[in-house]
Amino acid sequence: MPTDLPDHGRPELSAAAHSEWDGHVEGVLRGIAHALNNRAAALSAVLELARDPAEDSAVSAILGTELERVGDLVSAVRSMVAGKGGPEAFDPADVALEAQAILQLHAELRNRRVTIVATGAQPLRVPRWMFVRALVVLGANVARACQDAKVVIAAEGDWLITLAAVDVAAASTGITPCLTELARALGGEPLRTKTGFGFRVPTLAALRRREGRED
């Protein structure tokens, strides 16, 4: 059954779930370190070009690209950090992009591709950072089973369904402690079907109707 969030808005995860998430954090940090090394090499090349006034336009173009990439790394780090606020309304499509960017940095998934599609998704009202984490865990789990993984977020009645399509064997192992506990902390539950696995949470519209009935 879904569980309520503690008063401070942070889920009380089990030791197994914490360990699982720590593994993802380590993988992403290693990926960020690798990316920073690449950025440092590129900037060294820029310094060499900067010595030639004729290369000013090339220097500006490379600097602009590298600064954008560094900004992407900063955004990924911020998305990984647990927020202090409680539930907020947001478009899942925006969070899907954040989670996908994080997964692209994950060192353990370097030769894998994870696509998160949120076409037709409806707004949610949950802690945004927690939904990001659930997407990262789900994406990493399915990527370990499929080299070219896909996660689809779509509304179905009162629920927003987030499902990764994989074979039955992968679906039986993809519901890990961290995914299960995050889904429940979000007010939803994990899902396992014949064609995949994932989780579901109530849509913002469903929560508003529920609150109206309680009034």
CATH number assigned to the domain comprising residue 10: 3.30.565.10
**pLDDT (0 to 100) of residue 200:** 96
Mean of the per-residue pLDDT values for the chain? 83
Per-residue CA distances from 37 to 3, 70, 71 (Å): 42, 11, 15
Beta bridge partners of 191: 198
Give percent above pLDDT 70 in the chain. 83
For the ranges 41-55, 109-123, 154-168, 178-192, the one whose mean pLDDT is highest: 178-192
Whether the CB-CB separation of 163 and 152 falls below 8 Å is answered with yes
Q: How far, in Å, CA of 150 to CA of 169, rounded?
A: 17
Domain that holds residue 124: 1-215
**Global pTM value:** 0.81
**Chain segment 74-122, per-residue pLDDT in tens:** 777 777 776 666 899 999 999 999 999 999 999 999 888 899 999 888 9
Tally of structural domains, the chain: 1
d(CA 102, CA 132): 9
Residue 6's pLDDT band (boundaries 50, 70, 90)? very low
